Each structure stands twice: as structure tokens, then as C-alpha cells.
Amino acid sequence: MLKRNLAHRIVIFSLLGMILFSLAVVFSVDYVRRGMNAQAAEDTLRIASDRMSTLHDQVRLMARDYNNWGDVYTAAKDTNIGFIADNYGITAINGDIFDGVVMFDGFFRTPIAWTKGQAREPSPSFLSQQTLSYIRQNIEHLDVSKRQTFDFVQNDEGQLSFLSASYLLPDTKEALGRAEFDPRTIAVISRKLRDAEMASIRSDLSLSRLKMSVQPDSQLQNLPLNGVDGQPEIFISWTPPKPGDRMIAKIAPIGAVISLTILALTALGTYLLTVNAKDLMARGQDAMRAARSDLLTGLPNRLALIEHIGRISRKPNSRFALILFDINGFKSVNDVIGHQGGDAVIQILAQRLRAIFNESIVICRVGGDEFVSVVHYDDDLRQRVLEVACQIKTALFEQVDFAGNRFHLTASFGFAIRTSSGETCEELLFQADHAMYDAKSSKADQPREYSNEMHLKWKMERRIELALREAITRREEFHIRYQPIIDAKSLRLVRVEALARWTSATMGDISPDIFIAVAERTALMDQLGLLIFEKVCEEVSGFSSLNVSINVSPNQLLSGEFASRIRDLARRFQVSPQRIQLELTEGIAIQNTDAVKSRLTEIGLIGFTTALDDFGSGFSSIGYLRQMPFDCLKIDKSLMSSDSGINGIDEVVKPIIALGHSLGKLVTAEGVETHEDMARLQEAGVDMMQGYFFGMPQTLRDLMTLYPLEVSLKAA
Ligand code: C2E
Ligand code: CA
Ligand code: CA
């Protein structure tokens, strides 16, 4: 949308630009053209007018000359027509200088005239009575002393004549004075405009059309020439020269080429700009999208989550919940197949999660193995959350095969429902995180809903974590207690299990179930594990024939230098590896992996023995047991209780013992609390037993008092 808008705007702006540019060019060229035309019109009018004046001037000069001729004046006074005809009329008859003359009033009772090609005898006036009377009126105002003339033109059916009238006067000043008292004779000289003169004007002004008419022609340029009555008698008209138009005609092709080139370049520029703009916008949108999606999985990321929640929060009465889930023990996956492998597994999981997406379910990746689903639902939201969590579980729990390893992953789920108090995204995330954390720490496989108690619990665990961190550096708050493990047949002490104890300076005694779990979750376990291992080696080094079992977290086993570290510690305290058995619980995330197998083999080669701890709780699989080179199998104490009416030992423990034996493993039963338990287990053929019945976890010194003579070299 945005993309199209910008491109549209560019196109519109450049179109507007092109139109404005074209208009500006057209208007300026037209302005110049009009200017040139107007200037040319003005010039031709002036020149034509000058030419007409020049022609008329010749007639006026003739009139001033002939009408102020003393001899002619005298001849007129004497009515000597012959003299006038020979000296004045003859010039008109010849027609070289002028071609007509009329004399009237004064010394003549009737007007007389001579015209070109006529006889010497004067003829009647070729000017009408009306013309003569106009002449009389106009001439009256002339200054006689200045010998002024009255000039006008006359049109005789298209033939233009220039006329000049004045009184016939004597030539000297004194005679002029005397003539004041003589009757006034008027003489009019007329000269026709000749075709040649017309042609010369036309060619000099390079006019295409030149004509005369009584009415001005609006299409043409008109020069009025005044008649005897002072009104325009005739118009000389011509097509005004159009140099501007000619210029346009000349430059038009070049101009058109230049304009088209400019327009084409602008159009090309616009096109490129549009393409660029589209590209830029597309890239901008890609960047926006990239900023909101997780690089590894392409799922929406935390930013997208915050924006999505912002959007749905704004809708009135919008109901939604946040489910936060985290893969359990994902660190082991990375340890086994490396980070790239871990990434690939996350991608496989994301691919499956994607299938759950719909309008009301959005799933985002917010951390390494941490995801958040926003569930938007109007009805029973809590029920909907459980359904969605179930869908997610189904997707995640399906086994993942990668590079020869098979992973059975689980996840812990916590959720928070947005209440009417309108929690922010951060608050909801915080709540869902606590709920998830709670589910994880209590190994719950059902989603946990956030409650205030969880927050308190979380705070408590934070305190524990901080205290644990410090305690690990100080070391002295940790102690080891030892619990006897007894041979089932001889009831002699075979070995002891070392169990860690922590008495925090600030919080007092904290159960290993709690602090071991905190250490595992906060990556403190490697350090703590080695610390315990060291303490145990130190303590048992004084009892040369005492065998000891030490608990090891699955993560510890997979961390790179574990085997060499414990080998070095055992060597340092001169405790033979053969005396130490490592108890391992099944990694929640890992089964059947080559990595676990090879680590166990590595440990075995050093001389340590191994036991699979807590068998029968949680995820234990017989396939796993079959493949892994454990020396011993420890049956979980939970199977010992005879809750729910069934006899745990006979119905569950006995077959496990048989299975262990069939796989060539020694079998230890944990949680032996009563004599009856002992008897049944002996009957079931167990190899070793451990439990309160034989002794509580205690100091080595106390244990030696309890089993003073039993410390023997009996191998496990
Ligand atoms: P675990 O390895 O299964 O240890 C046996 C637990 O069962 C011990 O609890 C022990 O006191 C208890 N127990 C022994 N006999 C009986 C019995 O007859 N009945 C009942 N109900 N319980 C009995 P503890 O010492 O509280 O340790 C709890 C868990 O903490 C251990 O379970 C082990 O998983 C973990 N843990 C303890 N010390 C360490 C350690 O040094 N390293 C690691 N990684 N984990 C440890
Ligand atoms: Ca154990
Ligand atoms: Ca156990």
C-alpha cells in the first residue's frame, strides 16, 4: 500500500512537473512570438505611414510652389486663363509631377480644372461641390503668412489621390500684404497614387497582401488616410508580417525534438525513480519484517510479540492469554549435537509449531528454546489455553531424529490470562514466565497458570540461586552425608552413596532436591558437581577400602571435560577410580544418543563404574538401558511403596530386577525402609539394598561406628 502510494506520488509529481515545464515553454515561446509579431506590425505601420506621408509631402510641396507663384497669381487676377493653362495646367496635363488641378472661388466665377491627358482648355472641376465646400471651410483657418496647405486624400472607386489645397498667393511679402484685400482663389493639386509606388511599398515592406478599402479589415493591419471631411476616406490594409510565427515555424522541429528528449528523459527518470522507490520501500518492508521475525526459525520474535499484544490489547473487551513454554533440558541437545545441531532441532520444532498458527493463535520464539503463544479467544479462554497447549505438546513431543540421534523432547508450560485490570505485555510475560518456571521446577507436565504464590516461590528460588552462587565460591557451607548400600545376601556394607548437604549461612538447611534443581537450571551444576566430587574424594581417601557412589547430573556428564576432571581429582586424592561409581539419572531430553554412550565408555575406560539411578521414575526406557553401558541399575524408591493396593515389589520391582540381570547389570533397590521390604527384595533376587532401614545418610565417622567391621573390599 505504502509502496504504491510513494510510486504514485512520484508519477503524479513528475507528470505535474512535465506539464508545468511544457506550459512554461509554450507560454514563453508564445510570448516571444507575439512580441516579435507586435513589434513587426508596429514597424510596418510606421514605415507605411511614413511612405504615404512622403508621397503626400511631394504634393504639398508642389502646391506651395505652384500656388505661391506670383505670375500665376497675377494671371488669375487678370483672368489670363491662357497663361495659367500654359504654366500651371500644362503640368497637370503632362501628369509627371501631379495629375490634376482645380481652381475655384476668388477670381473664378466657376471652378476650372486641368487633368492628365486632357486639352489645354480648362474643364469643369473633377471635385464635387461638397468637396469644394469642405475645402473652403478648412482652408479658412490656415495661416496665410506661413503659406500653409490643407492636405487630404480622395478615393475614386479605388483610385487613391493625394490632394493639397491652398490659396493662390503672390510670391513676395509686399504683394501678399496687398492680396489681403483681393478675393480669395483656391487652388487644389491632386496626384494619383501610382501602381508602381504601391508595388514598391509592398516589396520594401515584404508584405504579402496590400489593398485599399473603405472599411478597415479586422483580419489585416489598417492605415487610415483622412479625406476632405477629416474622416478616414480609405484604409490601406495588409497582412501583418509575422516574424514570430516564422521563427516558430523554423525552430519548431528542433524545439519539438528537444522537448521530446527532455520529456523522454523525465519519463525515464520518473520510471527509474519509481522502480527505485518501489525497491526501497520493498527493502524497507523486508527490513521491518526481518526486525520482527526470528532469524533462525522465521517465527515472529519478541518485538513482533509486543506489537501483536499491543494491537489486540487496544481492541475493546479483548480476551487473551500468553502461554510460555520452554524445552526441558535443551542444553543436553546442544551438548550432544553441538549448537548447529541444536539450531536445526529448533528449526524442526518451529516448523511443527507453525502448523498450529491461525487467526487467534500466534507463536513467537522469544529465546533459545523458549516460545510464547498468544491465544486470543472470547469464550472459555482457560479451556482454550489448555487445548492449545495440548496441540503444542503433541507437536513438540513427537520424536526428533537428527544426525543419528533420536530426541524425545518435553517442555514446561506456564500461562497468564489478561484480566480486566489490563496487564501490559511485559507484565503478562513476567507472569507466564513464573508459571512456566514453576511447572519446570516441579516437573509438572500440565500447563501451570500464574498465581501470586508462584511469584513468592520464584523470589525464593532467586534468593536460593544467589546464595548458592556465593556458597559455591566459599565452599565450606557444603557437607557430604553417606548412606550405606548393603549386599542383599550377606547384608554387609558394599559401598556408600554420597549425598550433598547445604547449610546456607542466610537460609539454613536447604534440601538437595531444591538446590540441585536450582544449580541445574542456572548452569551452576558443573561447578557444584566438581566441588562435591572433590569433597567426597578428600573424605573417602582416608578409608582405603571404602567404595562410594557419587551422583552426577546428566548435564555434567555431557560437558566436555567432565571425564578428565574427575579423573584428575581422583588421582589427586589417590582414590582409585574403581572405588567410585557414578550415579546418573536419565537425561530428560536424551535417549539413545551416541554422545551419552561414548561418554559412558570413556568414563568406564578410566576405571569408574556407572549406575542408572532412579530407574522406573519418569522416562526410563528399557531400550535406553539395553544400549547404555551401565554397570548397575538403581530402582527408584517410588516403586517400593505399596500405594494403590498393588504390591510394588512383587509386581513391578521383581520384573525389573529380572530384566536388569538379563542385561548383565547388578541391581540395587532404593528406599528400603522396613524389614518386610528387605525380605521381599531378597526373595526377588536383588543384588544390593539401600534405605533408611540400613541407615540414614550420615557422616563417615558415624557410619563407621554403625558398620565398623563391614568395611570390606567387596566389589560392586
Ligand atoms: P537420589 O540420588 O535418589 O538419592 C537418594 C535419596 O533418597 C536421598 O535423598 C536419600 O536421603 C533418600 N532416601 C534414602 N533412603 C530412603 C528411604 O528409605 N526412604 C526414602 N523415602 N528416601 C530415602 P536426598 O539426600 O534428599 O537427595 C535427594 C536427591 O538429590 C538425590 O536423589 C539426588 O538425585 C540429588 N542429590 C543429592 N546429592 C547430590 C549430588 O551430590 N549430586 C547430584 N547431582 N545430585 C544429588
Ligand atoms: Ca543417587
Ligand atoms: Ca535414586
What average pLDDT does the segment 172-178 reach? 84
Question: pLDDT tens across 492-539, in order?
Answer: 999 999 999 999 999 999 999 999 989 988 889 999 999 999 999 999
Least Cα distance to 533 among 497, 562, 573, 569 occurs for 569
Distance 359 CA to ligand 1 centre (A): 48
Confidence band of 662 (pLDDT split at 50, 70, 90): very high
pLDDT of res. 587: 66
Q: Please tell me the residue having the least CA distance from ligand 1 atom 24.
A: 512
Nearest ligand to the C-alpha of residue 555?
1
Of the pLDDT bands very low, low, confident and very high (cuts 50, 70, 90), residue 589 is: low
Q: Which ligand is nearest to the CA of 553?
A: 1
The three cell numbers of residue 161 are 489621390
Q: What is the pLDDT of residues 352-362, one digit of tens each?
A: 999 988 888 89
Name the most confidently modeled range: 43-52, 579-588, 664-673: 664-673
- Looking at residue 617, its pLDDT comes to 80
- Which ligand approaches the C-alpha of residue 512 most closely? 1
What is the spatial distance between Cα 266 and Cα 246, in angstroms, rounded to a whole number?
29
Close Cβ partners of 495 (under 8 Å, ≥ 6 residues apart): 485, 546, 547, 548, 549, 581, 716
Cα–ligand 2 centroid distance for 551 (angstroms): 5
Poorest-pLDDT segment among 291-295, 364-368, 587-591, 674-678? 587-591
- pLDDT-based confidence at residue 3 (cuts at 50, 70, 90): low
| Residue 638 to residue 617: CA distance in whole angstroms | 7
Closest C-alpha to ligand 1, atom 42: 551
Answer yes or no: is pLDDT of 716 > 70.
no
What's the chain's Rg over C-alpha atoms?
Answer: 64
Q: What is the pLDDT of residues 605-627, one digit of tens each?
A: 999 999 999 998 866 677 778 88
35 CB contacts (<8 Å, ≥6 apart)? 244
pLDDT value at residue 153: 95
DSSP secondary structure of 86-150: IIIIHHHHHTSS-SEEEEESTT-SS-EEEETT--SS-B--SS-HHHHHHHHHHHTTS-GGGT--E
Q: Which run of H or E residues covers position 326? A: strand 320-327
**Index of the ligand 1 atom closest to the CA of residue 512:** 30
List pLDDT tens digits, range 14-59.
888 888 888 888 898 889 999 998 888 888 889 889 989 999 999 9
Cα of 490 vs centre of ligand 1, distance in Å, is: 24
User: pLDDT value at position 709?
Assistant: 47
Q: What are phi and psi of 236, to 5 degrees?
A: -95, 120
pLDDT at residue number 229:
92
Spatial neighbors of 577 by CB under 8 A, at least 6 apart, are 567, 570, 606, 607, 608
CB 596 within 8 A of CB 336: yes
- pLDDT category, 134, cuts 50, 70, 90? very high
Q: Which residue has the higher pLDDT, 393 or 445?
A: 393
Which residue minimizes the CA distance to atom 2 of ligand 1? Answer: 551
Residues of the chain with pLDDT > 90, as a percent, come to 55
Q: Residue with the nearest Cα to atom 29 of ligand 1?
A: 513
Task: List phi, psi (to 5°) of 399.
Answer: -60, 150
Residue 351 has pLDDT above 60, yes or no: yes
Q: Tell the residue nearest (CA) to atom 21 of ligand 1.
A: 671
Pocket test for ligand 1, best of 499, 580, 588, 681 (most atoms within 8 A of CB): 499
pLDDT at residue 590, rounded to an integer: 57
Relative to the alpha carbon of 518, which ligand is closest?
1
Asked if residues 163 and 98 have their Cβ atoms less than 8 Å apart, the reply is no
What separation in Å is there between the alpha carbon of 638 and the centre of ligand 1? Answer: 12
In the chain, the N- to C-terminal Cα span, in Å, equals: 75
Ligand nearest to the CA of 635: 3
Retrieve residue 283's grid coordinates.
527493502
The minimum-distance atom of ligand 1 relative to the CA of 511 is 26
Best mutation site among 480, 483, 551, 678 for ligand 1 pocket (most ligand atoms within 8 Å of CB): 551
Above 70 in pLDDT, residue 291? yes
Distance 585 CA to ligand 2 centre (A): 8
Question: Do the Cβ atoms of 388 and 373 come closer than 8 Å?
Answer: yes
The CA distance from 213 to 51, in Å, is 18
Q: Which of 495, 607, 471 is nearest to 547 (CA)?
A: 495
Q: Which ligand lies nearest the alpha carbon of 495?
A: 2
pLDDT at 347: 96
User: Read out DSSP for 162-191?
Assistant: EEEEEE---SSHHHHHHHTTSPPPEEEEEE
Q: Which residues surround ligand 2, an ion (CB under 5 A)?
A: 551, 583, 613
pLDDT tens readout for residues 367-401:
999 999 999 888 899 999 999 999 999 999 999 99
**Average pLDDT of the segment spanning 287-294:** 89
Nearest CA to ligand 1 atom 3: 614
Cβ neighbour number for residue 643 with a 10 Å cutoff: 7
Position 4 confidence tier, pLDDT thresholds 50, 70, 90: low
| Residue 713 in this model has a pLDDT that exceeds 60 | no
Average pLDDT for residues 3-14, to the nearest whole number?
Answer: 77
DSSP strand pairing (666-669 vs 112-115): unpaired
Q: 670 C-alpha to center of ligand 1: Å? A: 10
For the four alpha carbons of 487, 493, 498 and 504, in that order, the dihedral sign comes to positive
Residue nearest atom 41 in ligand 1 by C-alpha distance: 500
With 70 as the cut, is the pLDDT of residue 124 above it? yes
* pLDDT tens-digit readout, 192-220: 999 888 888 888 877 777 888 888 988 88
DSSP assignment letter at 560: T
Residue 645 has pLDDT above 50, yes or no: no
Stated pTM of the model: 0.58
Check residues 603 and 461 and name the one with the higher pLDDT: 603
**Average pLDDT, stretch 691-713?**
82
pLDDT tier at 714, thresholds 50, 70, 90: very low
Structure confidence at residue 715 as a pLDDT band (50, 70, 90):
very low
Percent helix, percent strand, percent coil in the chain, to nearest 5: 50, 20, 30
Predicted confidence at residue 711, as pLDDT, reads: 44
Kindly report the protein residue whose alpha carbon is nearest to atom 10 of ligand 1. Answer: 697
Query: Helices 452-474 and 425-441: crossing angle, nearest 10°?
Result: 60
Tell me which residues have their CB closer than 6 angstroms to ligand 1. Answer: 483, 499-500, 511-513, 516, 529, 532, 551-553, 583, 613-614, 637, 671-673, 691-692, 697
Mean pLDDT along residues 688-703: 96
